[in-house]
Structure formats: C-alpha cells, structure tokens
Amino acid sequence: MPVLSALHGASSTVLSNLFVKLPAPHANPELSRQIIIVTGSNTGLGLETGRHLLRLGLGKLIMAVRNLDKGQQAKQDLLASTGRDEASVEVWLLDMDSYDSVKTFASRVSELPRVDGVLANAGIMTSKYSFSEGHEKTLNVNVISTFLLCLLLMPKMRESWRQTGWPCRFVIPNSALHYLAPLGELDSSPVADIIARLDDPDKADMAGRYPLSKLLVLYAVRELAGRCKASSKGLFIVNTPNPSYCISNLTRETKDGLGLRMAEKLLARTTEEGSRTLYHGLFAGEESNGQYLTNCHVQDPACHVTGQWGQQVQKIFFDELLSIVEKIQPGLSSNI
C-alpha cells in the first residue's frame, strides 16, 4: 500500500472520531411511505440504523437476518424503543453465506409494492481462512454475495423509482481500512485472475483480507455506477459510506485483546454515532452515486482507487465479479 495513503487513512480516522460531530438523522418527507431493507440488522450498526428509521417514521422496515429468532428479539427491542407497532417491522431470512438464500430473498423482495433503500450491512471480519460457496468466505460474503444481491434487486429498484420518483439507494458500508489494504494480491502484470488468487488458501493474506474486501467494494461500486449510467436503463443510487472506527460486533473475533479494548475506549464512535453515516447514505442525493462517503459527505478514496492503476484493476475485477454472478444466475449482468 502507498505509505502516504495509509497515513492519510489512519490520521483521518483519528481526527474524524475525535473532532467531527456527525449530523443527527432527520426525517425525510417521503419516509412514512417508504420500505427500506437492512441486512445484518439484528445487531450493531444495522440495528441502530433501523432504530433511526423507525423513530423518524419509516413506513416499513425489512430486517434481513440469518437467524430468525435473533431477528425477532431485535425487532421487539426496536418496537419497544420507538413505540412503533408490529406491522412496521418484518423479519426475513437472508444468509449471505448462501447464494440460494440470496436468490430466494431477492425473489421475495420483488413482490413488495416498492423498495426505497437497501442497506447491505451484513459482513464479516475474520483472520481465519474458510470456504463459502467455493470462495474465501470474507470475499464471498462482503463482496460477491453483496453484489449478487444488488444485481438481483436492480429491476425492482428501478421499477420502484419509475413508480414513485424516488431513486432507491443501495448502500454498502465501507472502511478507511481500504487505505491500508495490501495490494500484493492485486499487483501483477498483467492484472488478471484476481479472484482466483484471492481464493488460494496458500497465498491468501488473511490479516489484510477485510481491508482488501472494502477496497474491492469500492472498485465494484464505482464501476457499477458508471456502467449503469452508461446503460440508461433507469436510475438507482449505489454508494459506500465509511462509519469510521466504532463499537460494533464486527470485531468480535479480536474483542478480548487489551489493545483493542483500550483503542475502542479512547477513539471509537458509539454504534449509534456510526449508524448516522449509514442513515445518511440511505438518503444521500445523486451526487453520492458511485462514491465513497465519510462524515456524511463525499470523500475521495485512496489513490490506489482513483489512480490509473486502480482504474485498471477496477475494470478487470468487476468483469471477473460479473463472470461469477453469471454462473450463479445466468443473464444477471444484463440487469446493468
């Protein structure tokens, strides 16, 4: 990773968390009529974003979770804290570790009267290598399944825009750790077979896999937004906000470390504060399309995203990603 980029990512996180006060979420005039989906919504940032949405009057929240019992418990917590009625929240099954589950969930979404926002919050951080649907699990859950879901929902998101005039936002949380992502697994000449290299258990750099997954999300968001704009098939907005370092269950694997606990106490935003950035992504304007967001505004990502090398990797990686989702659901890339 470029040293200056890494320093910028680290320093911006510290300065943001110590000195930037994020704007409190405010109601949107359309909110009472809207349906918004939040994946990974039974805990952490997803749960707190759902709480903001309900408190401010969202018509219906779809909580997409992989454990229905835990989802129902989280639903009751939300209802109790917001005073909303049972009908305002539905709990649906979605396991991002399973392509069949993603496809079944997307088919169910297609039957909704409208969909106004999707917060694709479900993700993992692990240093342990394991397979998921034939791919390394972090890569599969954080990137492949997330964009499989996005492409499956694209017809419904565009249909909803045509009916309501409100562009659906597809929001994928990101991280300033993308500045620190190890580039060795991407850097070869010519750049090719990126996903095959990332899937190789003998070569996988799992210590840097989570930051790299967020870098790959950035590449895919930017490329998807550009290709959708060129296709002119209909408007939807995809963006990737950075909630910054905050308290969440994402780091549960390393939660017992003394250093992490101390850093969390000194620097971390609360879960509620971090969720404000995700709420913002769900209502950000067209200027956010294809963009990385920090502190509730558009921010330039790392130079290995915006530079010539990054743009080359972006196109190649996205083509590989499309090749994979085509095998999962033939014809899916035509949705772009």
Q: Which two tokens stand for residue 19?
A: 């000195």
The answer to whether 151 touches 334, Cβ cutoff 8 Å, is no
DSSP-assigned states of every residue in 32-83: GG-EEEEES-SSHHHHHHHHHHHHTT-SEEEEEES-HHHHHHHHHHHHHHH-
- CA dist., res. 20 & res. 14, Å (int): 10
Pick the catalytic residue: 99, 179, 210, 292? 210
Q: Has 210 been annotated as catalytic?
A: yes
3-state SS assignment for residue 233:
coil
Question: Which of 73, 107, 106, 103 shows the shortest CA–CA distance to 91?
Answer: 73
In the set 214, 219, 245, 279, the catalytic residue is 214
The CA–CA distances, whole Å, from 206 to 128, 133, 196, 318 equal 7, 18, 15, 21
Residue 214 annotated to the active site: yes
Q: Which residues contact 141 (CB under 8 A, 6 or more apart)?
A: 96, 97, 122, 123, 124, 132
Alpha-carbon span 281 to 297, nearest angstrom = 9
Size (the chain), residues = 336
Q: How far apart are CA 39 and CA 194, in angstroms?
A: 27
Catalytic residues: 210, 214
